[in-house]
């Protein structure tokens, strides 16, 4: 497993296409495991290409990238690994525009690959928030006023949850793009990301009150223009700053992807040496992930 945030180490570890193929094969077929996707046979011999495996029964030759998010990306794996490294290790990731210029890949091709990586950053729902949690909503693409109104025009409404640890520290965070600030839209977000026993704080908005049936420790307090939810509002400002600064614009269709990408890096900020490996793992195994629900 590559376990570092040092770019020089990374360049030494992955210097050729073969290095990347070997790495993908190691994740796809740990130990000697193999199951032919055509006939189910478990015996294989060496395939034609580097690190590919050939079924001894039906002779199907399977490459390490087959069935993974690296299949048919339209450019070489070394570039792909560098892009994944930048997207996972760099604090702000990398924009499509930067990928295009830094790696000489056409706009359409890099946009497609970037989206694949972003999809793999979706929450699996395995790590739910617990302890002290603050929840609120915010609008992207406009001023905060009227976030509970009926229409937001081109603005996008987002519900956010953040774990508070002590006075000034925070744990994990999740965000969900919603249409309206209603109990019906809040509930699935709470159910997916927040433990029932946790001590939740929200402002006095009525749609949160109805959630007390499932979340008995939900407390509603006066927001005082956000002063009582300081950490949460810093998190919101940081997200907005990142979106505006790096990506300039984001359509409603892709909003959730950017929210997921931001939370993915944020929630792993204390585990940076393994974030690249974990992301590659998801891209290799993602067909299973995305078929179920996604982390």
Q: Of 214, 203, 190, which Cα lies nearest the Cα of 130?
A: 190
Pair of tokens at residue 264: 């993915």
CB atoms within 10 A of CB 281: 17
How far apart are CB 38 and Zn ion at their closest, in Å?
5
How far apart are CB 33 and Zn ion at their closest, in Å?
15
Buried b (16+ CB within 10 A) or exposed e, 73-83: beeebbbbbbb
Residue with tokens 């570890």: 13
Read off the DSSP letter of residue 246: I
Instruction: Work out which of 58, 165, 209, 221 binds Zn ion, going by CB under 5 A.
Output: 58
- Segment interacting with Zn ion, rule: CB under 5 A, options 13-21, 47-55, 134-142, 235-243: 47-55
How many residues line the site for Zn ion (CB under 5 A)? Answer: 8
55 is a contact residue toward Zn ion (CB under 5 A)? yes
Whether residue 132 contacts residue 198, with contact meaning beta carbons closer than 8 Å, is answered with: yes
CA distance 236 to 160: 8
Residues in region 221-260 near Zn ion by CB under 5 A = none
Q: Of 22, 31, 55, 7, which Cα lies nearest the Cα of 272?
A: 7
Instruction: Work out which of 39, 184, 209, 234 binds Zn ion, going by CB under 5 A.
Output: 39
Instruction: Work out which of 4, 5, 18, 41 binds Zn ion, going by CB under 5 A.
Output: 41
- Segment interacting with Zn ion, rule: CB under 5 A, options 28-36, 160-168, 237-245, 280-288: 28-36
36 is a contact residue toward Zn ion (CB under 5 A)? yes
Pair of tokens at residue 82: 């560098």
- Segment interacting with Zn ion, rule: CB under 5 A, options 56-64, 91-99, 165-173, 197-205: 56-64
45 is a contact residue toward Zn ion (CB under 5 A)? no
Query: x/- binding map, residues 256-295, to Zn ion, per CB under 5 A?
Result: ----------------------------------------
Whether residue 76 contacts residue 264, with contact meaning beta carbons closer than 8 Å, is answered with: no
CA distance 161 to 235: 10
Instruction: Work out which of 12, 35, 38, 269 binds Zn ion, going by CB under 5 A.
Output: 38
Q: Of 271, 18, 249, 294, which Cα lies nearest the Cα of 156?
A: 249
60 is a contact residue toward Zn ion (CB under 5 A)? yes
Q: Which is nearer to Zn ion, 60 or 111 (CB)?
A: 60
Q: What does the binding site for Zn ion look like in residue numbers (CB under 5 A)? A: 36, 38-39, 41, 55, 57-58, 60
């Amino acid at each position: 497993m590559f376990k570092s945030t040092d770019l020089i180490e990374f360049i030494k570890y992955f210097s050729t296409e073969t290095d990347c193929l070997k790495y993908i094969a190691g994740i796809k077929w740990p130990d000697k495991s193999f199951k032919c996707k055509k006939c189910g046979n478990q015996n294989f011999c060496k395939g034609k290409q580097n690190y590919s495996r050939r079924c001894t029964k039906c002779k199907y030759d399977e490459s390490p990238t087959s069935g993974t998010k690296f299949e048919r990306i339209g450019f070489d794996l070394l570039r792909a690994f560098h892009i994944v490294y930048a997207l996972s290790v760099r604090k702000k990731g990398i924009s499509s525009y930067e990928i295009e210029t830094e790696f000489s890949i056409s706009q359409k091709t890099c946009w497609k690959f970037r989206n694949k990586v972003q999809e793999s950053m979706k929450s699996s729902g395995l790590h739910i928030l617990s302890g002290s949690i603050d929840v609120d909503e915010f609008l992207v693409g406009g001023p905060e006023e009227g976030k509970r109104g009926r229409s937001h025009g081109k603005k996008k409404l987002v519900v956010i949850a953040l774990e508070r640890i002590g006075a000034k520290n925070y744990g994990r965070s999740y965000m969900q793009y919603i249409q309206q600030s209603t109990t019906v839209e809040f509930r699935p977000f709470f159910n997916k990301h927040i433990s029932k026993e946790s001590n939740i704080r929200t402002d006095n908005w009525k749609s949160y009150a109805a959630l007390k049936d499932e979340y008995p420790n939900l407390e509603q307090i006066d927001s005082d223009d956000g002063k009582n939810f300081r950490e949460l509002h810093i998190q919101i400002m940081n997200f907005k700053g990142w979106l505006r600064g790096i990506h300039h614009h984001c359509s409603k269709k892709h909003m959730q992807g950017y929210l997921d990408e931001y939370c993915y890096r944020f929630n792993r900020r204390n585990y940076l040496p393994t974030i690249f490996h974990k992301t590659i793992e998801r891209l290799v195994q993602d067909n299973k992930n995305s078929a179920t629900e996604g982390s």
